[in-house]
C-alpha cells in the first residue's frame, strides 16, 4: 500500500488547488468510495482538500482518489505523477496514476562484494519505512497554550486514539496546578514550518488518565520510580482527528528495544517545527521502568514518541539526566516503555479500550 508523505501532500495540494472546487472534490471523494459528509467539513477549500488527501492516504486509497480528482485534467495528472516520482526517487507504481510503467530493474548479480555482517541484522523495505515515517508526521502534535499574546509551546504529544493524545504528566502539570487555563491549550498537528499547523482544542474535562514522574527523574538524589510513576497524561481532544490521521494502538506494543539498539525521537524540540534525532538505547534503569538513550533532545521534546529502527513505537520520551550543571553535560536522555503505560492506562480506565471508537 502506497502512502504519501506530508511533504508530498503539500506539493499535490499546490498543484490541484487552482482548478479543484467543492463539486469536483465531492465527486472525487464519492467515486473513491467514501461519503463526502465524512470527509469534507467546510473549513475552507484548501483545508478540506488536505483533509480529503490525508483521509484517503491512511486508508490506502490516495492513488485512486487523486486519479478521480484529476480525471478531467490530464495535465494535472502528469504534474502529480512527476511530483511523486521526483520526491521518492523511484516513487510509486506509475500505473496507479494511469502513467506508462517505466523500465524495470533486473536483480543485482549475487557477487561477493556484499554480505550480511551482523547475525541478528534485519532489513525493512524502504517503502514501508517511509509509510511509517508518514504516520509519525500525521500523528504527532505540538502541545501549546496561548498566553493572550502568542502561542507558547509546552511539549509534544501523539495520537493513541481517535481523539486521545498522549504526552508527559509534567507537560500537563502547569494546567493541573492552575497556572495555565485548560481552554487555552491546543494540540497543533502538521507543525512542520513556522506559521503552519492545525490547532485542535481540548474537551472541557480532558484528562482521562495520568501518572506522575518519580523524584529521581529530576533530582539525582531522588529515589527510583515506583510502578505508578510513569510521567504520562492521556488527554481527550475536541475532534476525532484520528479518523483521518490514524493513531497508535498501545495494546499492540508488547516489547522494548534491547541495549545498543538504534532508536529515533520525533518531536517539537524547543517548540520548533517537528524534527527527528537518532541515537541508541544505553541501558534500562529504575527496575526496567526507564529507557535511557543518547538521542539529542531539548525542552519541547517532552512527550515525544520514541521509535525503534523499524519506526515502530516503543517508548515515551520524558527527561534528561538530572545530574547536570553548567559545566557538566548529561550522560543520557530518558524515556518510559509504552507497554508499561498501556497497562497503567487500562488499570485506570478499566476494561474499556481507550483507543477504540
Segment 160-174 mean pLDDT: 96
The tens digit of pLDDT for each residue in 192-232 reads 888 888 899 999 999 999 999 999 999 989 999 999 999 99
pLDDT, position 71: 78
C-alpha cell at 265: 525521537
pLDDT, position 64: 76
d(C-alpha 328, C-alpha 326), whole Å: 6
Comparing CA positions, the residue from 307, 63, 318 lying closest to residue 166 is: 318
d(C-alpha 191, C-alpha 138), whole Å: 10
Segment 55-77 mean pLDDT: 79
Question: Is the confidence at residue 106, as pLDDT, over 50?
Answer: no
Question: Is the confidence at residue 319, as pLDDT, over 50?
Answer: yes
85: CB partners within 8 A, 6+ apart: 91, 94
pLDDT, position 103: 43
pLDDT, position 301: 95
Question: Is the confidence at residue 175, as pLDDT, over 80?
Answer: yes
pLDDT, position 14: 84
Instruction: Assign 57 a pLDDT band (cuts: 50, 70, 90).
Output: confident
Of 138 and 355, more confident: 138
Question: What's the first-to-final CA gap in the chain, in angstroms?
Answer: 24
The tens digit of pLDDT for each residue in 11-25 reads 888 888 888 899 999
Which stretches of the chain are DSSP H helices?
A: 6-16, 22-31, 36-39, 45-57, 62-69, 74-88, 126-139, 169-176, 215-218, 242-245, 338-349
Comparing CA positions, the residue from 85, 81, 68 lying closest to residue 31 is: 68
Comparing CA positions, the residue from 233, 231, 259, 256 lying closest to residue 317 is: 231
Distances (CA, A) of 230 to 22, 165, 233: 47, 16, 9
C-alpha cell at 341: 503505560
125: CB partners within 8 A, 6+ apart: none
pTM for this prediction: 0.69
Question: Is the confidence at residue 94, as pLDDT, over 60?
Answer: no
- Give the whole-number percent of the chain exceeding pLDDT 90: 49
- The DSSP result for 303-336, as a single string, is T-EEEETTS-EEEEEEEE-SS-BTTB--S-EEEE
Question: Is the confidence at residue 43, as pLDDT, over 90?
Answer: no
Instruction: Assign 142 a pLDDT band (cuts: 50, 70, 90).
Output: very high
The tens digit of pLDDT for each residue in 251-272 reads 888 788 999 999 999 999 999 9
Of 322 and 106, more confident: 322
Question: Is the confidence at residue 110, as pLDDT, over 80?
Answer: no
d(C-alpha 225, C-alpha 180), whole Å: 27
What CATH number has the domain spanning 142-349?
A: 2.40.10.120
Tell me the backbone φ, ψ of residue 40, rounded to 5 degrees.
-100, 120
Of 111 and 37, more confident: 37
Amino acid at each position: 500500500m502506497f502512502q504519501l508523505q506530508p511533504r508530498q501532500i503539500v506539493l499535490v495540494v499546490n498543484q490541484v488547488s487552482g482548478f479543484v472546487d467543492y463539486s469536483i472534490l465531492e465527486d472525487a471523494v464519492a467515486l473513491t468510495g467514501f461519503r463526502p459528509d465524512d470527509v469534507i467539513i467546510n473549513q475552507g477549500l484548501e483545508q478540506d482538500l488536505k483533509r480529503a488527501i490525508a483521509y484517503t492516504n491512511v486508508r490506502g486509497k490516495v492513488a485512486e482518489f487523486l486519479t478521480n480528482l484529476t480525471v478531467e485534467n490530464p495535465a494535472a495528472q502528469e504534474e502529480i505523477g512527476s511530483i511523486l516520482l521526483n520526491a521518492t526517487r523511484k516513487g510509486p507504481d506509475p500505473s496507479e496514476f494511469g502513467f506508462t510503467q517505466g523500465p524495470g530493474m533486473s536483480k543485482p548479480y549475487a557477487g561477493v562484494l556484499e554480505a550480511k555482517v551482523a547475525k541478528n541484522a534485519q532489513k525493512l523495505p524502504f517503502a514501508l519505512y517511509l509509510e511509517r515515517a508518514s504516520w509519525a508526521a500525521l500523528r504527532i502534535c505540538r502541545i501549546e497554550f496561548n498566553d493572550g499574546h502568542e502561542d507558547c509551546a509546552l511539549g509534544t504529544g501523539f495520537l493513541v486514539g481517535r481523539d486521545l493524545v498522549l504526552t508527559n504528566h509534567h507537560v500537563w502539570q502547569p494546567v493541573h496546578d492552575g497556572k495555565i487555563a485548560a481552554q487555552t491549550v491546543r494540540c497543533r498537528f502538521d507543525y512542520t514550518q513556522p506559521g503552519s499547523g492545525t490547532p485542535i482544542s481540548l474537551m472541557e474535562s480532558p484528562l482521562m488518565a495520568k501518572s506522575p514522574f518519580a523524584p529521581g527523574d529530576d533530582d539525582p538524589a531522588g529515589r527510583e520510580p515506583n510502578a505508578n510513576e510513569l510521567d504520562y497524561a492521556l488527554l481527550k481532544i475536541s475532534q476525532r482527528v484520528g479518523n483521518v490521521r490514524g493513531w497508535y494502538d498501545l495494546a499492540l506494543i508488547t516489547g522494548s528495544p534491547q541495549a545498543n539498539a538504534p532508536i529515533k525521537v520525533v518531536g517539537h524540540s524547543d517548540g520548533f517545527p517537528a524534527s527527528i534525532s537518532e541515537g541508541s538505547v544505553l541501558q534500562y534503569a529504575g527496575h526496567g521502568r526507564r529507557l535511557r538513550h543518547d538521542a539529542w533532545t531539548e525542552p519541547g521534546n517532552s512527550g515525544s514518541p520514541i521509535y525503534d529502527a523499524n519506526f515502530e513505537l516503543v517508548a515515551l520520551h520524558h527527561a534528561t539526566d538530572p545530574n547536570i550543571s553548567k559545566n557538566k553535560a548529561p550522560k543520557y536522555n530518558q524515556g518510559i516503555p509504552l507497554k508499561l503505560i498501556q497497562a497503567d492506562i487500562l488499570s485506570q480506565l478499566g476494561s474499556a479500550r481507550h483507543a477504540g471508537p
